[in-house]
Amino acid sequence: MISEALHEQASLYVLDALQGDERTSFLKSVAADSELAELVAEYRDASAWVALSAQEVTPPPALKGRILVSASSEKLPPAPSTMIRRLENNSQSGLQSLIPWALAAGFAIFAGILWGASKQSDADVAELARQREIVTGLFTRVAELEGAVETRDREIAAMAEEVRVLQETNHLADVQLATLSSKLNASYLASVVWDPASQEGVLQVRRLPELGTGQDYQLWVIEPDRPLPVSAGIFHVNPDGSATVHFAPAQPVPRAMTFAVTLEKAGGAQEPEGPIVIAN
Amino acid sequence: MQSTTDESQLLARIGQGDESALGALYDRYSRPVYSMVLRMTQSETEAEEIVQDVFLAVWRTAGSFDADRAKVFTWIITVARNKAIDRIRSLRRRLPASLMTDVSNHAEGVDNGADPLGNTIHADESLRLSHMVNELPVNQCQAIQLAFFEGLTHPEIASRLGETIGTVKARIRLGMEKLRQKVKGGGR
């Protein structure tokens, strides 16, 4: 006769809602009592059906194909040495990190022995039920350990991404932004993002008039101490007057302060000759 | 639900490296597994990854799985749920509690496609059993679903519901006992 308390613990256990000492104590009871183990197996079967109370959603059609392709390319399970190499490649290498895999391997071997047991007599049914619950638990534990390793891999990848973003942010602190305006027409707009470190920039313009043949817009970078502006190339605008131009000045301009666009003859000029269209 | 002869044969064929058998098992179980994991993770990407992990785990271990004694559905659901809970708990560690939303009503209104072949697990018996879960008294169903889909412990469930731990335990125990009896009796 199984007590009400054990019924309660069994129902919580299969939902992973039993924790700490209570869980440890309960597992000892299961290991020693085949009737209780059979009860746990029944609760576990019942718990699986809770999954069906989720609203049904059909998986994407492509998923099946991906799984079959992965299975096809993975005819054999990875050897332990492969798994160890994988752990060694992680940032948290060392003997301690191998412990979960050693446990998993031990569980798997034990599970294999149990599952490989030959047919038993009717008198052994209860014992088999107990073993089944143990094996189910072992499979589950192996899956948990696999999941923990995967989770750690993802966390490491996420942290690496955070580092990359922080590095980019730090780099962006040096990037200059400039807004350009026009004395010819207030509707002309432009902005420049300029990276002094790489000596590259991006110019975006809006609502500049489209030019006919024989004329080009030319971008100039101006430094306070340099007598002449440095050309950063010619460009054209789209029919709607917009353009995005990646530019690199013809000479180094470590102290670039001003950006200006002039209207020049086709092909551009060595130094500004035409009117300034827009500048900061 | 004891594994059927059909499932035993499928598992045996999968254990021998028969990819078509894996495809057949996928057809049978992918929908409930995906639905469950999607509800738990609220992420289609995560759900797809977990479903893929689960069926590849089946592919690797089917040869050592005794479908005569075990219940394939229970096993697959258990593995999938554990993977989903790992991810949920990992997310909880990484995000402030204020950003964690209640997933209990996730996927309401999300469609689901037709099943023209009618060969998934959702046909007769399973549909009746899924209704059986929803037919539990609301407070029992709620406590069980918080544990099952969100991976909450009984103190966490008690806190979420504003009930005592004893009340939560009793609700789970009563609800699970009803489910157990129904499953034993074939859902009738």
Q: Cα A207 vs. chain centroid, distance in angstroms? A: 38
Q: Which of B23, B48, B183 lies nearest to residue A59, judging by beta carbons?
A: B48
- Among A160, A230, A241, A228, smallest CA distance to A201 is for A230
Check whether A104 has a pLDDT greater than 50.
yes
Q: How confident is the model at residue A118 (pLDDT cuts 50, 70, 90)?
A: very low
Residue B98 has pLDDT above 50, yes or no: no
**Which of B36, B43, B132 to probe by mutation at the A interface, max A CB count within 10 Å?**
B36
Is the Cβ of A51 closer than 8 Å to some Cβ of chain B? yes
Given this model, what pLDDT does residue A11 score? 92
* Per-range mean pLDDT, top range of A106-110, A223-227, A259-263, B117-121: A259-263
Mean pLDDT of chain B, nearest integer: 77
Nearest CA in chain B to A69: B19
Given this model, what pLDDT does residue B170 score? 93
Q: Identify which of A15, A51, A68 has the shortest CB distance to residue B77.
A: A51
Listed in sequence order, the DSSP H helices in B16-43 are 19-41
Max alpha carbon distance in chain A (Å)?
104
Task: Annotate A168-182 with b (16+ C-beta within 10 A) or e (fewer).
Answer: eeeeeeeeeebebeb
- The answer, for A165 touching chain B at a CB cutoff of 8 Å, is no
| Residue whose token pair is 């609301």 | B138
Give tens-digit pLDDT for A3-37. 989 999 999 999 988 888 888 888 888 878 888 88
pLDDT in tens, B50-88: 999 999 988 888 877 766 555 788 888 988 998 888 888
ipTM of the complex: 0.77
* A positions 180-219 inside 8 Å of B (CB): none
Q: In what order do the strands lie in the sheet with A258-265?
A: A230-235, A215-222, A258-265, A276-279
B157 half-sphere exposure, CB direction, 13 A CA radius:
31
- Please report the pLDDT score of residue A35 as a whole number: 86
Determine how many CB atoms are found less than 10 A away from the CB of residue A124.
14
DSSP string, A32-91: H-HHHHHHHHHHHHHHHHHGGGSPP-PPPHHHHHHHHHHHHT--SPPPHHHHHHHHHHSS
Give the residue with greater pLDDT, B174 vs B74.
Answer: B174
Residues of A in contact with B64 (CB under 8 A): 111-112, 115-116
The answer, yes or no, to whether residue A261 has pLDDT greater than 90, is yes
State how far the Cα of B9 lies from the Cα of B145, in Å rounded to an integer.
Answer: 33
Angle B103-B105-B106 from CA coordinates, rounded to 5°:
65
Question: What single letter denotes the amino acid at residue A146?
Answer: E
Q: What is the mean pLDDT of residues A199-220?
A: 89
To the nearest whole number, what is the mean pLDDT of chain A?
77
Least confident of A237-241, A270-274, B64-68, B180-184: B64-68
At B73 the three-state DSSP class reads helix
pLDDT for A173-208, tens place per residue?
677 788 888 888 888 888 888 888 888 888 989 889
What's the confidence (pLDDT) of residue A176? 79
Closest CA to B85 of B156, B29, B135, B141: B156
CA atoms within 13 A on the CB side of B71: 19
Which residues 92-121 on chain A approach chain B with CB closer than 8 angstroms?
111-112, 115-116
What is the pLDDT, as a whole number, of residue A107?
52
* Span B156-165, pLDDT tens digits: 999 999 999 9
pLDDT at A171 over 80: no
Provide the 3-class DSSP secondary structure of residue B128: helix
**Average pLDDT of the residues in A96-117:** 51
Sheet of A189-195, strand order: A176-180, A189-195, A200-206, A243-247
Does residue A133 register a pLDDT over 70?
A: no
Whether the predicted pLDDT of A52 surpasses 90: no
pLDDT at A119: 42
pLDDT at B17 over 80: yes
Q: What is the pLDDT of residues B23-32, one digit of tens each?
A: 999 999 999 9
How much of chain A exceeds pLDDT 90, in percent? 20
B118-166 pLDDT, tens digit each: 444 444 555 555 567 878 898 999 999 999 998 888 899 999 999 999 9
> What does the DSSP assignment read for chain A?
---HHHHHHHHHHTTT---HHHHHHHHHHHHH-HHHHHHHHHHHHHHHHHGGGSPP-PPPHHHHHHHHHHHHT--SPPPHHHHHHHHHHSSS-SHHHHHHHHHHHHHHHHHHHHHT-----GGGHHHHHHHHHHHHHHHHHHHHHHHHHHHHHHHHHHHHHHHHHHHHHHHHTT-EEEEEB-SS-TT-EEEEEEETTTTEEEEEEESPPPP-TTEEEEEEEE-TT-SSPEEEEEE---TTS-EEEEE--SS--TT--EEEEEEEETT--SS--S-EEEE-
Structure tokens at A187: 């509707």
Locate B148 and state its tokens: 């099952």
Angstrom CA distances, B172 to A29, A138, A150, A158, B137, stand at 20, 24, 31, 37, 11
Query: Does the pLDDT at position B91 exceed 50?
Result: yes
> HSE on the CB side for A126, CA within 13 Å?
9
Q: What is the pLDDT of residue A130?
A: 61
Q: Would you say how long chain B is, in residues?
A: 188
The answer to whether A8 contacts chain B (CB < 8 Å) is yes
